Every structure is written in structure tokens, then in C-alpha cells.
Amino acid sequence: MTNILIIYTGGTIGMVNDPATGALMPFDFKQIKENVPELSRLEYNLSVHSFDPLIDSSNMTPAIWVELAELIKREYDNYEGFVILHGSDTMSFTASALSFMLENLSKPVVFTGSQLPIGEIRTDAKENIITALEIAATRQNGLAMVPEVCVYFDYQLFRGNRSIKYNSEKFEAFRSPNYPVMAEAGVHLRFNQNYILPVPSSALQLQTRFNPNIGVLKMYPGISVQAVEAITESPVEAIILEAFGSGNVPTAGWFIERLKRAIDAGKIIVDITQCKRGSVQLGVYETSKQLQEIGVLSGFDMTYEATVTKLMYVLGLELPLSETRRLIETPLRGELTPM
């Protein structure tokens, strides 16, 4: 029998109607087979760990990421795979964070959730749970088919640090704009092995030090000196620069000077695009060439969620500045495609 640990953090997926009040309330996931009877047909040994108290995903923090990662590390030898039930709003942040924390991961960690509570007639929760469990249990030649942190939602499996939530109203809530899906669930569960990382040969390593001291500078036409300085002169250690197109920004002297002043003070600035699809290409246009010259780093095709969590992770390593800068532009868990 395959042993799978279900970790319920909270979120819409675990809600049922209270018969007395009609209000939504979390159900006891230890009784999951009563609510999803189809699970009894799967030949898995299922264990459930529920967070107490349950967490609305809008309240997710690095401290909770650490709690999740430590739980997986502690139970790592007891299970073949892990399914994490999580609110969809910040699921991509948590999946990205865990991908960096769990180095040399050789077992599936599958995030899923739902847009409708499990107690609703038209819920998407049951299919998402059942298929996430199947993915977590699938092995080939004795090894996990997907030795990664990933997100399963609405018949598609995404690399966790490549996923984004793009729709709050459709069952198709997630996309992976710059990386192909790793599996699709139709009549058959088909894995795209060319897009899945190989099983590592080294033992699992856990990194739990996250440094959240980062800021975000989002570009818009007419941005003022005061708005820029509010970020560049704040006591943050790194700044995410959300630029136009392929990494472009205004060429005004005052703007470039504010960025250069921040870099000279030891701050790291990472350029990512506001576009959902595409990559930063520093130096292709005059409007990004100056960024390259002053030491702004390229985020290439990283999502905003992956950039945030990767910066927290790399800063937490407390490495020399030159090595920190190198790691940011280096793919660590398949989170970026270098040009």
C-alpha cells in the first residue's frame, strides 16, 4: 500500500454547510473518506494532518511555510507523497517557497484546493483531491514520477514555482505562463516527463531561514520621485522592479540615479516583467540597457510569486553579496529560464 500524507492548512476546499445555520464551516478532514467516498477505491493508506487553527490563505506567512516544510521533513521517510490542501489565493507563493526550502526533494509535494467548498453539489474539490492523490502516489521504476513541489488544479499539473493564480471565478484558476504543464488529467493521467525534474541522488536538505525584508517597485507612466524613493531609500535589502515589457523602465536621469544609489548602498534590485508571459531581456532596448550597466539583476521569466520567495530564500542564506547576486540569476529549482 502507498502511504500518502494529506496536510490540510485551511481554505475553501474544506468547507461544508452547517445544517443549523447554513454558514460555511470547516469539516474534520480525519473523516475525509466519508466526505469523498471515492477515496475508498484508491489503494492508499491516507493519513491526515490538520493545522490548528486553520489558516485563511491571505494570512499565510514565512513562519507557516517553515512549519509546513518541517512537517514534511519530519514525516519524509514515512510517506511516498504529500498532498497539501491550501487556499488558492496564495497557493503559488507557498508552493514556490517550499520548492526552495526542500532541496533535493525526491517525493511529490502536490498542492491543491478548490473554488467551491467540498460540500457544494458542483464542487471542484473532489476531483482535485482525488487526482492530486494519484499524482502523489504515481511511481515509475520505483521512483516518484514527479519529485517536485507542484500545483494541481482543474485537470492540469504545474510546477509550483511556475504557477500563478489568474482567475478567481473559474475552476481553471491557475496557469503556468512561461513553462509547460507537467501533467494533464483526461481519460488518462498523462505526464510530460520532458518537463519534470529528475529524481535527485542526494538526501533531502531543509532550509528554513527566510528573510522577508524586500520591497516592490511597480512601474507606471508618470511615477514620481517620491514614490520611487519610498522604496529605494527604505531599509529593505532587496527590491523587485516590476518593469514594462521585456524589462524596460523610464530613462530619466533621476530615476536611474535613484536605482544606482540603492545598489551602491548594497541593495539588490531584480527586474521582472509586468507581463504575464515573456522574459526580461536587459540591454535589448535603450530603456533597459542602463539598468544592466548599473547592476540591476534579471529575473528572466520568473513569476512575481517565485521572485518574492526566491529572494526571501537566498537572502536567508546570508551569503556574500556576490554569491547572493549569482544565485538570484541562476535556476535553482526550475523557476527560471536563463536567456
pLDDT digits (tens, 9 = 90+) for 83-103: 999 999 999 999 999 999 999
Q: What is the mean pLDDT of residues 188-201?
A: 95
pLDDT exceeds cutoff 80 at 35: no
The Cα 200–Cα 88 span in angstroms is 29
Identity of the residue numbered 159: R
12 catalytic? Reply is: yes
Rounded to the nearest 10 degrees, the angle between the axes of helix 321-328 and helix 304-316 is 150
Q: Give every CB contact of residue 140 below 8 A, 6+ residues apart in sequence.
A: none
Q: What is the mean pLDDT of residues 120-149?
A: 93
As beta bridge partners, residue 149 has: 109
The Cα 237–Cα 281 span in angstroms is 24
Please give the grid coordinates belonging to residue 290: 542602463
pLDDT exceeds cutoff 70 at 36: yes
- Indicate the average pLDDT of the chain: 93
State the pLDDT at residue 43: 87
State the pLDDT at residue 12: 82
Q: What is the mean pLDDT of residues 16-29?
A: 73
The Cα 239–Cα 204 span in angstroms is 30
**Banded model confidence at residue 31, pLDDT cuts 50, 70, 90:** low
Sign of CA dihedral 228, 229, 230, 231: positive
Least-confidence region, from 74-83, 109-118, 313-322: 109-118
State the pLDDT at residue 15: 76
pLDDT digits (tens, 9 = 90+) for 305-331: 999 999 999 999 999 999 999 999 999
pLDDT exceeds cutoff 90 at 123: no
State the pLDDT at residue 151: 98
pLDDT exceeds cutoff 80 at 22: no
pLDDT digits (tens, 9 = 90+) for 229-247: 999 999 999 999 999 999 9
Residue from 9, 12, 90, 307 carrying the catalytic annotation: 12
Q: Which of 51-55, 167-171, 218-222 has the highest average model confidence (pLDDT)?
A: 218-222
Q: What is the mean pLDDT of residues 182-201?
A: 95
State the pLDDT at residue 30: 66
Q: What is the mean pLDDT of residues 246-263?
A: 95
**Banded model confidence at residue 217, pLDDT cuts 50, 70, 90:** very high
State the pLDDT at residue 332: 97
Sign of CA dihedral 88, 89, 95, 101: negative
Which residue, 179, 170, 214, is CA-closest to 316? 214
Q: What is the mean pLDDT of residues 139-160?
A: 96
Q: What is the mean pLDDT of residues 276-299?
A: 90
